[in-house]
Structure 1
Amino acid sequence: MKALPYGLSDFPRIRCEDYYYVDKTRFIEMLERQPPYLFLIRPRRFGKSLFLAMLEAYYSIDYAGRFEELFGELYIGQHPTKRHNSYMVLRFNFSEVSSKLEFVERSFCEYCCMVMKNFILKYEHLLGSGIWEVVNPDETNPEQMLAALKEYVSRTDCPRIYLLIDEYDNFTNTILSSYGQERYQEKTHGEGFIRGFFNNIKASTSNAGAAVERLFITGVSPITMDDVTSGFNIGTNISMLPQFNDIIGFSEDEVRKMITYYKDENALPEDVTVDRLVELMKPWYDNYCFSEDSLEERMFNSDMTLYFLNSYLQLKKVPKMMVDNNIRTDYNKLRHLVQIDKTFGVNASVIQRIIAEGSITAQISTSFPAEKMTDTENFKSLLFYFGMLSIQGTDFGSAILGIPNLTVREQLYTYLVEAYREAKMFDLDLSSFSRLVKGMALRGEWETVFRFFARELERQSAIREFIDGEAHIKGFLLAYLGLTQGYILFPEHESSKGYADFYMMPDLLHQPEIAYSYIVEVKYAKRDASEVEIVALKKEAAEQLVRYAADEKVLRTKGGTKLELITLVFKGWELVIAEKL
């Protein structure tokens, strides 16, 4: 039985050691029909490194004798292109560069020079011994080394270079998030070492007989590329082209095929179906879309999918933690880039609105510098590139962006709660709140949860000045409820009957003892609202809750729990009605 390649991005090893491989080689043909210099943005842990390793094995002359072994059974092995195994492949992975400010330039220089020296040693039989007369083996300046290498290759008849750069923005993003804009600007602007290196890459692609014939760069955002090249003018950004929506990550068909393989190998419990596992995984790992013209094609995060299946194959049950700790670590690195200003301004409101309402419209920016990343539209775009938002539809020329899945929703709850705390606006005792939610789940003690929350709203004056409407109240409430155990929250739960503010679906897979589930309707009135207005809101909420309770999804997922329908009416920050139907 094939092993799952969880945590592996070594393509030759995956193929030779008989790991399960989702065949993405058909994209080679499609890439060759594109311009030669390409740029792809995708979220972290989505399979970018494995894809580049596959390209290296396909195009490198060094792997010519292993073509059948590596590709024979794959699509491209049956449909090879003329360019296979015809290049010298120079591959960088900038995650290898230290992001500590005092070491970053030295680390970058040492790493790049090491990679280029190894490249020359690997292909010396093609380059000829004269290469060392042009390239100084003791060179410590990668800009000069690359310039010498491209000059030599361009004037000889040796094969051309296919340049691959993985995680091009890894260390620069860390500098930006850890040290701020000023230090980041020092490294990426003016005569900074990074800009000089990319200028040489551009020069390597632009003249007659160019040394670099093809180029493929991956990263998680367009920011650094804009900053180091004064706007992306090295090549073509294919990130949002519909034909490349599924270039990495797994489609549902690919996930089903993988599960079916292990089912046929008797690696899954007999009573577990493919449909059941897909149903369990979809809310947590699926629903990524990267093109407005591919709305019907949703992608699974490949790392999260492999994490789940790897755990399931070993334990024969759903993992206790649905979110891989590696994913949490990566999202935590991004948290500092998602800059929520200390005054809790517009961009904090963007996150809060997304949490409360489920979606937001945006004009996705394809390129913007770091100094403008907090502009509202760029900020929304940044959330999209990081995988915090995904395209759900279009609205009059704009993209509708929504939270793709429960894994991301959990991270956004964390971001927002930390933003409240850092801005000294609101700080709830999560351990006390969690104990109350446990009573809500086991004994139906729902009112103590919402009264506790309301008392904190009244007590902490800083947050009261920010409350202006139902979305703010819901945003606060959802962010904190989302960090407790027992329930999976579905804000603005869409049902055949309308919209509920949020459905607290019991997490019966992990907490089978839960006895109660809830649909909550939150209504908000201004502080000067009349009693008549309050009564009208209460009546409206009751009518909506009765309709929502009959929804098929609610009836299917509540299991044996008792469904409670709760109305909360806030008058300003004061909870004036908390009633159960």
Structure 2
Amino acid sequence: LNVTMDLSLNEMLGFTEEEVVKILEEVGIEEKENLINNLRELYDGYKFNKNARTSVYNPDMVLYFLAQYKNTGGYPEYLIDDNVKTDYGRLNRLTMNEENKALLERIIKEEGIVAEIVTKFSFDRMYDEEYFISLLFYMGLLTIKDYRYNILELGIPNYVIKTMYWEYFGRKLKEENNIKYEMLEIAKAIWEMAFEGKIKNFVKFISEKVLKVLSNRDTIKFDEKYIKIILFSYLTMSNIYKPISEKETEGGYIDIYLEKDIRMPDVKYEWLIELKYVKKSDEKYIEEIIEKGKEQLKRYRESMQFKDKQNLKKALVVFIGKGDYKIFEE
């Protein structure tokens, strides 16, 4: 009997925020408000029924975090225990067919999907689209986000699960395209962004070590969202930044906001990045695209959230074709 989606059991499957606050009090952690805001973003977001009003936190992840926090007096180096981390081998097996692989890439790009959840499984249909999506739901990699017009909208529950997807995407890309690089090279490039305010070497790394070596099949998929996921998969190799996609401001949605990671409070520079992709065949429109991108960045920087923020860099990054690029930064 599958009772996962039983409404009466929704809050049994995780910690409510009220319960997390009580745990913080019981273990004697002060500054609860700031900590709970971070925990909410990292581990909250799960709903198991379309009519559930309360989301719940992943209990394993919360307890792991608090044990580390209590022992060290600070945030853990790794935000998720390896024991509860998704088995990448299992994801590889589930995406052995091209349909599931393409579907997973779509979910990562869009951060969700519209689908129905299967409650009973048959081995004869294990590679059907709805079965694959349902497995991601039962594995905790998707959750119920909304129910509108009699349609179920599934989404990625929280930031930690997003990083797991980005890590998987980066691993898969590296394996399939034989991408080779030195970890020191990418670490140094991200460090330069954080402490010197220079983005050039990071973009150069992505262009030369990743984009230019991708297969023609991968380059067919090129668009801004696809390249953004590539950027995120490398940015999260370091604990320096927390990449945020489509952050809302009154001036529009920022392609990439690089916020300093909670584990790296000494980071000097944060970034607003507007990302553009131009096919070689559309290169004649590049000046128009550049002007539009600069105007978008200007609006984001002048928004209420950022207009008084110190040490906030902004950059327009335009990728052209398979690996050429232009950077405009301030």
- Report deviation, 1:350: 3.0
Q: Out of 82, 90, 96, which is 1:341 matched to? A: 96
Q: CA deviation at 1:299?
A: 0.6
Which residue pairs with 1:535 in the alignment? Answer: 287
Q: Which residue of 2 aligns with 1:404?
A: 157
Matched, 1:503 2:257: yes
Matches within 5 A, 1:340-489: 340-341=95-96, 345-424=98-177, 426-427=179-180, 429-457=182-210, 459-462=212-215, 465-489=219-243
Which residue of structure 2 lines up, in the alignment, with residue 70 of structure 1?
Answer: none
Secondary structure of the residue that 1:423 maps to in structure 2?
A: helix
Which protein has the larger Cα radius of gyration, Structure 1 or Structure 2? Answer: 1
Moved more, 365-374 or 302-311: 365-374
CA contact (8 A) 2:212 2:323 kept: no
Query: Do the aligned partners of residues 261 and 458 (structure 1) sit closer, same or farther apart at CA in structure 2, a change above 3 Å counting?
Result: closer
Aligned-pair distance for 1:486?
Answer: 0.4
2:49 and 2:249 map into 1 onto residues whose CA distance is: 26
**Counterpart Cα distance in 2 of 1:250 and 1:555:** 37
When residues 341 and 527 of structure 1 are mapped into structure 2, their CA distance, relative to the original with a 3 A threshold, is farther
- Name the CA distance, whole Å, in 2 between partners of 1:550 and 1:298: 34
Structure 1 residue 427: deviation in Å?
Answer: 5.0
3-state SS, counterpart of residue 239 of structure 2: coil
CA distance in 2, matches of 1:457, 1:312: 36
CA shift for structure 1 position 487: 0.4
Residue 474 of structure 1: how far off its partner (Å):
1.7
- CA positional deviation for 1:334: 4.0
Unaligned runs of 5+ in 2: none
> What secondary structure does 2:248 align onto?
strand
Asked if structure 2 preserves the Cα contact closer than 8 Å seen for 1:340 and 1:419, the reply is: no
Give structure 1 regions of 4+ aligned residues with deviation exceeding 6 angstroms: none
* Contact map agreement 2:244 2:257 (CA 8 A) in 1: yes
Q: Match of 1:565, as an amino acid?
A: K
Q: What TM-score results when the alignment is normalised by the length of structure 1?
A: 0.52
> For the structure 1 residues 514 and 371, does the alpha-carbon distance in structure 2 shift closer, same or farther, using more than 3 Å as the test?
farther
Q: Counterparts of 1:375 and 1:430 in 2: how far apart (Å)?
A: 38
In structure 2, relative to structure 1, the CA distance for the partners of 1:378 and 1:494 (3 Å cut) is farther
Q: Distance in 2 between matches of 1:363 and 1:540?
A: 39
C-alpha deviation, 1:249, in angstroms: 0.8
User: What amino acid does structure 2 have at the position aligned with 1:545?
Assistant: L
Give a deviation string over 1:23-63, Cα, whole Å, max 9, x none: xxxxxxxxxxxxxxxx3xxxxxxxxxxxxxxxxxxxxxxxx
In the alignment, is the contact (CA less than 8 A) between 1:355 and 1:491 conserved in 2? no
Amino acid at match of 2:326: I
CA contact 1:311–1:318 (8 Å) conserved in 2: yes
Among 284, 292, 298, the residue aligned to 2:42: 284
- Helix, strand or coil at the partner of 1:444: coil
**Inter-partner Cα distance in structure 1 for 2:128 and 2:182:** 33
CA distance in 2, matches of 1:566, 1:536: 17
* 2:66 equivalent to 1:301: no
Distance 1:322 1:402, change over 3 A: same
Asked if 1:494 is matched to 2:252, the reply is no
Amino acid at match of 1:572: G
Give the alignment's TM-score, normalised by structure 2. 0.88
Given the superposition, is the C-alpha separation of residues 503 and 351 from structure 1 closer, same or farther in structure 2, using an over 3 Å criterion? farther
Go from structure 1 to structure 2 and tell me whether the alpha carbon gap of 1:426 and 1:398 turns closer, same or farther (over 3 Å shift).
farther
Q: For residues 406 and 428 of structure 1, what CA distance do their matches in structure 2 show?
A: 26
Runs (5+) with no aligned partner, structure 1: 1-38, 40-236
Q: Give the aligned CA root-mean-square deviation in angstroms.
A: 2.6
- Count how many residue pairs are aligned between Structure 1 and Structure 2: 329
Task: Show the counterpart of 1:274.
Answer: 32
The residue identity in structure 2 corresponding to 1:299 is: V
How far does the alpha carbon of each residue in 1:254-282 deviate from its partner, in whole angstroms, 9 at most, with x for none?
A: 111222334xxxx33xxx32212211211
- For the residue of structure 2 that corresponds to 1:300, the secondary structure is coil
